């Protein structure tokens, strides 16, 4: 067992109102310059919908993530090294600017310089790439609030297998929820494995995936390999860029910008400890529906004295071990098991997880002629909610509807119990016992999901500078802009900040 620490995020989708504040603040912080006008490190999609970039979940088209070869070994869907090298200069598996949407600006000078007249002047859109007049026909938020769903919703890759007939885009029967997305900072990142230059790497100290701008040569293989399409190319510099998990803030013990500014307070940040020696084994389990449990089994209990001792021996600082004990992410993923990963079937072992949205359960009970006081009726209604279980399963559990139903039933029992407490109704522990919760756990889970304070939602230990950097000349840090050829084992830099590199198999380099 080799214990490593990973910064991770959980989002409660029941609380997302689709305000896009997280997207705007991320945009202003990280991509408010030339060359990345089209890039949104954080975006909020409306589901059902084709997403951003368009149909990014269609891996038959884009060849992202991992698959198992004939011998049951992990292999990049984009092909082996020889295939990738042969397509360095002509890669067909890349989204075009039309899939992302051409960024636009507006001719504001017309509003200021237009002569007085009877007609109101109009600021027409111009391409931010070419400067020429253009028409706005697509955008990252085009389907916001189901705005474009009647036209494009059927193109959602998650609506396969006859599910499109069950999901009807009619006013009386429609549903929607918002899905914020950012880089998953995976335990088994396909982008890192696919990069011919070795520019992408996963930091040892916190698991954040970054791009070494010095080594990047703009081959774009990382864009193809990422199944979430969260790696972008700066068309001015020719370098790859991506969500950095706001690592300067994380190193200072502060939450990411998207988390700090989230209006709905739906994001949780914390440390999880995992066994790096079993990452490849977990990603290579044969059954796709087994990937969720395989990844959960990787996470270690920091309250276990043996795990804590192993973490210390492997260089995890004591305050990080303590932060892992208090981590809201660990509680939601491993203790209460209400958080689920996005598309585990990609086998990247993503580290941004989601609490799935719960439709109005009592409405479904009443529509079926049942009693809201009968746990059997309530739990049965979970399978008939407006948001089909099959759709949520295609997003979060590789098609395992039982796993999704188990989470929704747990959330339903929690709501019923807290409602009874608030109204002074008799304490019926049957529903809680059915989902494996005690009354004390229910109160704690409700506090975490509904009314958690800042310090409870964000448990972010500060970085140890002695781990990441040292004095000039020491093994480790060198000037980010020097021309000295680094020796094997020396730390690399990303955007001017040091960090130890990790291979996809968990070993440091």
Q: What is the pLDDT, as a whole number, of residue 114? A: 86
* Residue 97 DSSP one-character state: H
Structure token pair of residue 348? 């990247």
Q: What is the pLDDT, as a whole number, of residue 475? A: 36
Q: What is the pLDDT, as a whole number, of residue 88? A: 75
End-to-end Cα spacing for the chain: 18
Burial 148-164 (b: 16+ CB within 10 A, else e): bbeebbebbbbbeeebb
pLDDT tens string 386-420: 788 899 999 999 999 999 999 998 998 898 888 88
Q: What is the pLDDT, as a whole number, of residue 467? A: 59
* Residue 353 DSSP one-character state: E
Answer yes or no: are the C-beta atoms of 15 and 355 closer than 8 Å. Answer: no
- Measured between alpha carbons, how far is 301 from 273 in angstroms, rounded to an integer? 7
Answer yes or no: are the C-beta atoms of 190 and 66 closer than 8 Å. Answer: yes
Count of Cβ atoms closer than 10 Å to residue 35 Cβ: 17
Tell me the sheet residues that pair with 68.
74
Count of Cβ atoms closer than 10 Å to residue 120 Cβ: 7
Show the CA angle centred on residue 188, arms to residues 186 and 193, nearest 5°.
Answer: 110
Q: What is the pLDDT, as a whole number, of residue 485? A: 41
| Cα separations in angstroms, 283 against 75, 189, 345, 351 | 11, 11, 9, 13
Q: What is the pLDDT, as a whole number, of residue 271? A: 97
Query: Peptide bond before 48: cis, by omega within 30 degrees of 0?
Result: yes
Residue 103 dihedral angles phi and psi, to the nearest 5°: -70, 145
Closest to 180 (Cα-Cα) out of 76, 262, 68: 262
Q: Is the dihedral of CA 193, 197, 202, 208 positive or negative?
A: negative
Residues counted in the chain? 509
Burial 245-281 (b: 16+ CB within 10 A, else e): bbbebbbeebbbbbbbbbebebbbbbbbbbbbeebbe
Which spans in 31-158 are helix H? 59-62, 81-86, 97-100, 108-113, 149-152
125: Cβ contacts below 8 Å, ≥ 6 apart = 104, 105, 106, 107, 133, 134, 135, 136
Sequence-ordered strand ranges (E) for 229-306: 231-233, 240-242, 267-275, 299-300
For the chain, the C-alpha Rg in angstroms (whole number) is: 24
Which spans in 87-146 are helix H? 97-100, 108-113
Below-50 pLDDT ranges, the chain: 469-497, 503-509
- Measured between alpha carbons, how far is 101 from 104 in angstroms, rounded to an integer? 9
Answer yes or no: are the C-beta atoms of 295 and 282 closer than 8 Å. Answer: yes
SS3 457: helix
Q: What is the pLDDT, as a whole number, of residue 441? A: 94
Q: What is the pLDDT, as a whole number, of residue 482? A: 32
Q: What is the pLDDT, as a whole number, of residue 472? A: 40
């Amino acid at each position: 067992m080799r214990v490593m620490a990973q910064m991770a995020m959980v989002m409660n989708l029941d609380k997302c109102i689709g305000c896009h504040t997280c997207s705007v603040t991320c945009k202003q912080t990280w991509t408010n310059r030339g060359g990345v006008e089209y890039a949104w490190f954080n975006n909020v999609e409306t589901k059902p919908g084709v997403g951003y970039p368009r149909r990014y979940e269609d891996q038959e088209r884009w060849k992202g993530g991992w698959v198992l070869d004939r011998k049951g070994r992990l292999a990049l869907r984009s092909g082996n090294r020889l295939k990738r090298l042969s397509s360095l200069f002509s890669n067909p598996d890349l989204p075009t600017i039309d899939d992302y949407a051409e960024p636009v600006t507006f001719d504001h000078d017309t509003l200021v310089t237009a002569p007085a007249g009877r007609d109101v002047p109009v600021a027409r859109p111009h391409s931010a790439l070419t400067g020429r007049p253009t028409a706005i026909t697509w955008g990252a938020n085009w389907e916001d609030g189901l705005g474009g769903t009647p036209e494009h919703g059927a193109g959602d890759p998650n609506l396969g297998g006859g599910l499109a007939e069950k999901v009807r885009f009619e006013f009386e029967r429609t549903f929607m929820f918002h899905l914020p997305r950012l880089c998953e900072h995976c335990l088994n990142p396909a982008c890192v494995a696919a990069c011919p230059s070795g520019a992408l790497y996963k930091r040892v100290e916190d698991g954040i995936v970054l791009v070494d701008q010095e080594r990047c040569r703009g081959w774009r293989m990382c864009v193809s390999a990422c199944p979430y399409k969260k790696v972008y190319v700066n068309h001015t510099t020719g370098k790859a860029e991506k969500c950095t998990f706001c690592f300067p803030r994380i190193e200072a013990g502060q939450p990411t910008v998207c988390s700090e500014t989230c209006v709905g307070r739906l994001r949780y940040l914390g440390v999880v400890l995992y066994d790096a020696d079993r990452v490849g084994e977990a990603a290579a389990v044969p059954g796709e529906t087994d990937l969720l449990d395989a990844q959960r089994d990787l996470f270690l209990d920091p309250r276990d004295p043996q795990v804590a001792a192993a973490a210390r021996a492997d260089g995890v600082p004591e305050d990080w071990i303590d932060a892992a004990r208090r981590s809201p992410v660990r509680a939601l993923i491993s203790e209460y098991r209400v958080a689920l990963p996005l598309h585990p079937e990609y086998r990247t072992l993503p580290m941004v997880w989601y609490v799935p949205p719960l439709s109005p359960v009592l409405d479904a009970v009443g529509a079926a002629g049942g009693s809201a006081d009968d746990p059997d009726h309530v739990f049965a209604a979970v399978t008939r909610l407006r948001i089909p279980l099959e759709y949520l399963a295609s997003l979060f559990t590789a098609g395992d509807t039982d796993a999704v139903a188990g989470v929704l039933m747990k959330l339903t029992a929690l709501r019923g119990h807290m409602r009874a407490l608030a109204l002074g109704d008799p304490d019926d522990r049957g529903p809680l016992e059915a989902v494996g919760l005690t009354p004390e756990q229910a109160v704690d889970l409700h506090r975490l999901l509904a009314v958690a304070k800042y310090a409870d939602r964000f448990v972010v230990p500060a970085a140890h500078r002695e781990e990441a950097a040292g004095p000039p000349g020491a093994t480790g840090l060198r000037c980010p802009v020097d021309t000295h050829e680094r020796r094997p084992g020396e730390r690399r830099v990303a955007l001017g900040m040091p960090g130890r590199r990790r291979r996809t198999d968990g070993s440091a380099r």
